[in-house]
Structure 1
Amino acid sequence: MSSPEPAVDIEDVEHRYGAVTALGPVRLTVPAGQFLVLVGASGCGKSTLLRLIAGFEQPSAGRVRVNGAQPVPGRGAGLVFQAPRLLPWKTVGGNVELALRYAGVPREDRPARVGELLERVGLPDVANRRTWEISGGQQQRVALARALAVPNPLLLLDEPFAALDALTRERLQEDLRQVSAASGRTCIFVTHSVDEAVFLGSRVVALTQRPGRVALDVPIDLPRAGVDAEELRRAPEFTAYRAEVRSTV
């Protein structure tokens, strides 16, 4: 019996910008449903690797496969960036509705789906507000709802909480943890925060300084069921994982 196709397969990938090797060689296999966090210092190639998985760039060497095929920009993966990148001339609901339209959801079904998605990210009452009328943390929730609107099995997140204050960041980390568990999607999350990596990931991969290579690849086995965020962060296992990742980074 053959093993299931991995969600992402990265085979000896290298990427260069001119004479500078930014990444690689890197070899990673990401099973479907896993929450993988890429962590490392600035400039280690985390975001470059994410762009290769999204299909925005092609590797200088090696091969990237998403669900068995070469990645195509805008297909196969939902994307959440550090900046929400919402359309300011549309309402909150209009931004999510646009993603549903591109996903081929019939017009008559979109209002209910917009409501469901905004409810999922904790924004049940803001559909008719303009994007500039809500906070930065709420805008990132809208960006997440927009990414979830497209039924792609893969979600890519490039430091989406980096510009937020600490309290908002922690609230959104917990929200994302719950949303990802409920959706069952494969997630690849980029961060330079060790605490964030251990809190979110079911697996953490730490990259070296440029050129980025895998320095640590560790599964994160934490008692998450029925455990709130503060209790999880106080767990001895959390402290041990954080120390292991921090010593590598």
Structure 2
Amino acid sequence: MDLKGLTKTYGTGTTAVAALGPIDLTVAPGEFLVLVGASGCGKSTLLRLVGGLDSPTAGTVSIAGDAAVPGRNVGVVFQQPRLLPWRTVGGNVELALRYAGVPRAERRDRAADLLDRVGLPDVARRRVWEISGGQQQRVAIARALAAPTPVLLMDEPFAALDALTRERLQDDVRQVGAESGRTTVFVTHSPDEAAVLGTRIVVLSRHPGRIAADLASPLSRDADGAELRETADYVGFRAEIAAAVRAAAA
């Protein structure tokens, strides 16, 4: 994935506000890139541009040489699950499989496999309102994985969850990312979350949002999440990210 000269400006003339850029960034296949920074630095704006959900003022986004098209080469998980309440849990995932071109006869089993992959093996027949917020977000992740897109974008998907559920989902996402081999771009304001998830951390400055730091993670992707959080390497890397965020916001 390549971003070249990417900028976003809101308004025109004397009221124009430069929100982002220019951003030049290349993300390797299979990389787990975390965008982190203070509020208002343009993290979500950049994610929307990468996902083809908004148009840049200038610059380009390309995924394997093609423009970003949601559902075709980009999957998105938002802060809120955005599930269809009139469908069952399994039905939400099956709908994504339908749009991905999976034959009807295969959808139920494929949906069950995806739900099992995110730790929900027995909820396919339940209604959305019958499961917790954390479980709903897992369903949203399973739905995003249903489409065979090479890139997965996640916009602070755990921000509204309690700390324990957030850690569990972080561990799920780490595992799914490693197993699927997809390129993932994850937005967060938390150095803790950035450290545990990312193979690479990009810190954005504010007004306009620009790349202030680009950090490669020294942490093992094979380590258990709970054990990883207790290591000196994790504590040190989290501190390095936090210092970079503070410097970028100054």
TM-score range, shorter chain: over 0.9
The one-letter code of the counterpart of 2:234 is F
Secondary structure of 1:128 counterpart? coil
Query: What residue number does 2:6 align with?
Result: 13
Q: Is 1:112 equivalent to 2:109 in the alignment?
A: yes
Does 1:236 find its partner at 2:236? no
- For structure 2, list consecutive stretches of 5 or more residues without a partner in the other structure: 246-250
Displacement of 1:240 in angstroms is 1.6
Alpha-carbon deviation of 1:73? 3.4
**Superposition deviation, residue 169 in structure 1:** 0.2
Q: 1:201 to 1:207 in 2, by over 3 A?
A: same
- Percent identity over paired residues: 65
Q: Please say which of residues 68-77 and 211-220 is displaced more in the overlay.
A: 68-77
CA distance in 2, matches of 1:120, 1:72: 25
Q: Distance in 1 between matches of 2:182 and 2:152?
A: 7
Q: Who is 2:84 aligned against?
A: 87
Matched position secondary structure for 1:234? coil
* 1:246 aligned to which of 214, 219, 242: 242
TM-score by length of 2: 0.94
Q: Secondary structure at the match of 2:67?
A: coil
One-letter code aligned to 1:246: A
Moved over 3 A (4+): none
- 1:54–1:74 contact (8 Å) kept in structure 2: no
Structure 2 equivalent of residue 38 of structure 1: 35
Alpha-carbon distance in 2 for matches of 1:224, 1:117: 21
Give the 3 Å change call, closer, same or farther, for CA 96–12 of structure 1 in structure 2: same
TM-score, normalised on structure 1?
0.95
1: distance between equivalents of 2:31 and 2:225?
20
Say how many residue pairs are matched: 241
Cα RMSD for the two superposed structures = 0.9
Q: Would you say the 8 A contact 1:11–1:64 is kept in 2?
A: yes
Answer yes or no: is the 8 Å Cα contact 1:224–1:232 preserved in 2.
Answer: no
Aligned counterparts of 2:164 and 2:71: Cα–Cα separation in 1: 32
Gaps of 5+ in 1: 1-7
Alignment deviations for residues 23-80 of structure 1 (CA, whole Å, 9 cap, x no partner): 0111110000000000011111111111111111111111111121121233211110
In the alignment, the residues of structure 1 paired with residue 6 and residue 209 of structure 2 have an alpha-carbon distance, to the nearest angstrom, of: 11
Equivalent AA in structure 1 for residue 150 of structure 2: P
Contact 1:53 1:66 in 2 (8 A): no
CA offset at residue 242 of structure 1? 1.1
